[in-house]
Amino acid sequence: MHSTLELDENQMRAMVTIALDRVMDHLRGLSTAPISNTSRGGEIAKSLLEPIPEESLPFETLIGRIFDDIIPATVNTASPGYCAYIPSGGIFHAAVAEFVAKAVNRYVGYWFMAPAVAQLEWTVIRWFCTMMGYGDDSGGVFTSGASMANLTAMIAARTTRLPEDSFQQGIIYITSQTHFSIAKAAGLAGFPSHCLRIIDVDSEFRMDPRALNEAIAADRIRTPTRTPFMVVGTAGTTNTGAVDPLDDIALIASRENLWFHVDGAYGAFFMLVDEAAQRMRGIERADSISLDPHKGLCLPYGTGALVTKRRASLERAFGARADYVPQMNDVENEIDFCGLSTELSRDWRGLRIWLPIKMHGIGPFRDNIAEKLALTRDALDAIRALPNIEIVATPQLTIFAFRLNPNDRSEADLDHLNRVFLNAILRRQRIMLSATTLDGRFVIRMALLSFRTHADRIHDGIIDIRDAAAEVLETTVHEATG
Ligand SMILES: Cc1ncc(COP(=O)(O)O)c(C=O)c1O
């Protein structure tokens, strides 16, 4: 019997043509589409709550629904104006690579199943290791993102540095600026919250190495049964892009025998650009580094990576045995990825990174980061020059934070004022910014990273920021006097 699921060539070509036409229309309209259009999103979401269908629907109808209803009712994360949270990107090459990878559906978990498929992915891992300054013993895996990379690192650190039966005595050092995925990873790896120590940051939101030293010393004296075993530094925090003093932390970690993990989800690929790489000095001494190609290399969401100084640490943590498959990572120069991470069956993630880098070389990726560094400095200068704007965090990479501060309001009023200010910026629909809290103050962040974001859009965004500030101040003065 012929399966309906086995499409004939004409059907397949027709589907791809229709999908491609819709994608092209979408991409053509990307820069003029609203930056955020979620008001109908809930209603559309509700309309998707339905029982499993028995009847069939034409592809055209479904793709129409996807592009006409579902996709537009979103935050436009692929827009040139998306400067919120940490921008991603979504280069088209990756979509084509995904199409190929999914259509051929090869198995990347075990080397023997597809040696060159696994090697291609390992080659990209080797590129990343070299970029971070690692040597031949290093290795790594692709993950869905930095959260999974951080969890993988946490488990590798635990397995390498702590006894199996009493690892909950371990202590992990982080800061208030460490991404929440680290605390989550600690919990998932079995560490109760009392295992986390928050180390002070300096005025630029970077870990204070002296405070780290003191905390470790205090823990060793006060609780000799506990084991300081891991410190997490960040190469580019989410809040302000702060880069912890990695070299100093590496020194302490080595002296104290701690596993040194660097969360470089946002910042690690700044290693491509010399001026930013200076800030990262010491990253090469880390035992493990999380890095997100879906941030710094503008890949689509779902593309993260973890690299470790020693591949063997991943093998120790994630190796396992089963009777129906060969021993993992047993043959020299053959990589069984399933023995380096929690995942067994997974997609061929490496292809979507390998293809664009092979097509263009690494140059355009480096150029994008260099452009964003320069653009950030220009944006900062322009925003600083606006009346009543206070810069709260200057950029160390391509993120900075500011707020509206007319110097005549209480802190509570300022928080309210800035919430209204952010909404007034977003209402103009040309630039998407997000907010955070720094030292208890509500502040607005600008984060530049996407390959689509250039000076023209930032210029428009700054006009919107200026106009929104004037509007908000006028309205709130009227409120106060009226
Ligand atoms: C510094 C940092 N670490 C970890 C993460 C989590 O990454 P992901 O969303 O890829 O899981 C992020 C996300 O923005 C981040 O900025």
pLDDT for res 478: 54
Could you tell me the CATH number of the domain that includes residue 250? 3.40.640.10
Q: Give per-residue pLDDT as tens, 173-202.
A: 999 999 999 999 999 999 999 999 999 999
Q: Which residues, 6+ apart, have CB-to-CB distance to 212 below 8 Å?
A: 173, 199, 231, 249, 252
Q: Which atom of ligand 1 is nearest to the CA of 149?
A: 11
Q: Which atom of ligand 1 is nearest to the CA of 150?
A: 4
Half-sphere exposure of 366 (CA within 13 A, CB side): 12
pLDDT for res 326: 87
Domain assignment of residue 305, yes or no: yes
Query: Which range marks the domain in which residue 449 is found?
Result: 364-481
Residue 287 has pLDDT above 70, yes or no: yes
Residues 292, 370, single domain; the answer is: no
Domain assignment of residue 84, yes or no: no
Could you tell me the CATH number of the domain that includes residue 444? 3.90.1150.170
Q: Residue 203: name the closest of 249, 252, 240 by CA.
A: 240
Residues 470, 326, single domain; the answer is: no
Work out whether the CA dihedral 135, 139, 142, 147 comes out positive or negative.
Answer: negative
Residues 200, 140, single domain; the answer is: yes
Instruction: State the distance from the centre of ligand 1 to the C-alpha of 58, rounded, in angstroms.
Output: 38
Average pLDDT, the chain: 97
Percentage of residues in the chain with pLDDT exceeding 70? 99
pLDDT for res 477: 67
Domain assignment of residue 319, yes or no: yes
Instruction: State the distance from the centre of ligand 1 to the C-alpha of 145, rounded, in angstroms.
Output: 7
* Best residue among 266, 280, 288, 399 to mutate for probing ligand 1, ranked by most atoms within 8 Å of CB: 266
Which residues of 138-214 form beta strands (DSSP E)?
A: 139-143, 170-175, 196-199
CA max distance for the chain: 80
Looking at ligand 1, which residue's alpha carbon is closest to its atom 11? Answer: 147
pLDDT for res 476: 80
pLDDT for res 268: 98
pLDDT for res 11: 97
Residue 75: phi and psi, rounded to 5, are -75, 130
Domain assignment of residue 89, yes or no: no
Here the tokens at position 478 are 């009227």
* Apex 242 CA angle, 241 and 246, nearest 5: 130
Contact present, 270 and 236 (Cβ < 8 Å):
yes
Label residue 480 by pLDDT band (50, 70, 90): low
Label residue 479 by pLDDT band (50, 70, 90): low
Which residue type, as a one-letter code, is found at position 456?
A: D
pLDDT for res 271: 98
Residues 140, 125, single domain; the answer is: yes
Q: Determine the Cα–Cα distance for residues 35 and 332; give it in Å rounded to an integer.
A: 50
Contact present, 22 and 67 (Cβ < 8 Å):
yes
The 10 Å Cβ neighbour count of residue 366 is 16
Q: Determine the Cα–Cα distance for residues 172 and 158; give it in Å rounded to an integer.
A: 10
pLDDT for res 360: 98
Domain edge (last residue) among 328, 360, 392: 360
Looking at ligand 1, which residue's alpha carbon is closest to its atom 12? Answer: 265
Residue 102 has pLDDT above 90, yes or no: yes
Q: Determine the Cα–Cα distance for residues 178 and 182; give it in Å rounded to an integer.
A: 7
Q: Which residues, 6+ apart, have CB-to-CB distance to 183 below 8 Å?
A: 174, 193, 196
Residue 481 has pLDDT above 60, yes or no: no
Q: Determine the Cα–Cα distance for residues 121 and 354; give it in Å rounded to an integer.
A: 7
Instruction: State the distance from the centre of ligand 1 to the C-alpha of 86, rounded, in angstroms.
Output: 8
Coil/strand/helix, residue 142: strand
Would you give the DSSP letter of residue 205?
S
Residues 165, 61, single domain; the answer is: no
Instruction: State the distance from the centre of ligand 1 to the C-alpha of 238, rounded, in angstroms.
Output: 7
Residues 146, 50, single domain; the answer is: no
What is the mean pLDDT of the segment spanning 283-293? 98
Residues 152, 169, single domain; the answer is: yes
Domain assignment of residue 92, yes or no: no
Q: Give per-residue pLDDT as tens, 200-240.
A: 999 999 999 999 999 999 999 999 999 999 999 999 999 99
Domain edge (last residue) among 345, 360, 375: 360
Residues 209, 332, single domain; the answer is: yes
Label residue 3 by pLDDT band (50, 70, 90): very high
pLDDT for res 32: 94
Q: Which atom of ligand 1 is nearest to the CA of 301?
A: 10
What is the mean pLDDT of the segment spanning 31-52? 95
DSSP-derived secondary structure for 414-448: HHHHHHHHHHHHHHTSS-B-EEEEETTEEEEEEE-
Which residue type, as a one-letter code, is found at position 463?
A: I
What is the mean pLDDT of the segment spanning 467-475? 96
Instruction: State the distance from the centre of ligand 1 to the C-alpha of 266, rounded, in angstroms.
Output: 7
pLDDT for res 1: 77
* Best residue among 179, 240, 290 to mutate for probing ligand 1, ranked by most atoms within 8 Å of CB: 179
Instruction: State the distance from the centre of ligand 1 to the C-alpha of 400, rounded, in angstroms.
Output: 17
Residues 184, 315, single domain; the answer is: yes
Percentage of residues in the chain with pLDDT exceeding 90? 96
Residues 308, 407, single domain; the answer is: no
Instruction: State the distance from the centre of ligand 1 to the C-alpha of 18, rounded, in angstroms.
Output: 34
Q: Determine the Cα–Cα distance for residues 308 and 314; give it in Å rounded to an integer.
A: 8
Domain assignment of residue 323, yes or no: yes
What's the length of the chain?
Answer: 482
Looking at ligand 1, which residue's alpha carbon is closest to its atom 16? Answer: 238
Residue 309 has pLDDT above 80, yes or no: yes
Residues 176, 325, single domain; the answer is: yes
Q: Which atom of ligand 1 is nearest to the CA of 304?
A: 10
Instruction: State the distance from the centre of ligand 1 to the C-alpha of 136, rounded, in angstroms.
Output: 27
Residues 40, 157, single domain; the answer is: no
Residue 482 has pLDDT above 80, yes or no: no
Domain assignment of residue 93, yes or no: no
* Best residue among 142, 147, 280 to mutate for probing ligand 1, ranked by most atoms within 8 Å of CB: 147
Q: Is 457 exposed, middle or buried (0-12, 13-18, 19+ CB in 10 A)?
A: buried
Which residues of 115-250 form beta strands (DSSP E)?
A: 139-143, 170-175, 196-199, 227-234
Looking at ligand 1, which residue's alpha carbon is closest to its atom 5? Answer: 146
Q: Which atom of ligand 1 is nearest to the CA of 145?
A: 10
* Segment among 14-28, 268-282, 316-330 with least mean pLDDT: 316-330
Instruction: State the distance from the centre of ligand 1 to the C-alpha of 221, rounded, in angstroms.
Output: 34
Instruction: State the distance from the centre of ligand 1 to the C-alpha of 443, rounded, in angstroms.
Output: 20
Q: Give per-residue pLDDT as tens, 30-39.
A: 999 999 999 9
The 10 Å Cβ neighbour count of residue 459 is 13
Q: Give per-residue pLDDT as tens, 370-423.
A: 999 999 999 999 999 999 999 999 999 999 999 999 999 999 999 999 999 999
Q: Which atom of ligand 1 is nearest to the CA of 292?
A: 10
Ligand 1 pocket (Cβ < 6 Å) reads 86, 145-147, 179, 181, 234, 237-238, 263, 265-266, 292, 304
What is the number of structural domains in the chain?
A: 3
Instruction: State the distance from the centre of ligand 1 to the C-alpha of 146, rounded, in angstroms.
Output: 5
Q: Which of the two residues, 19 and 331, has the higher pLDDT score? A: 19
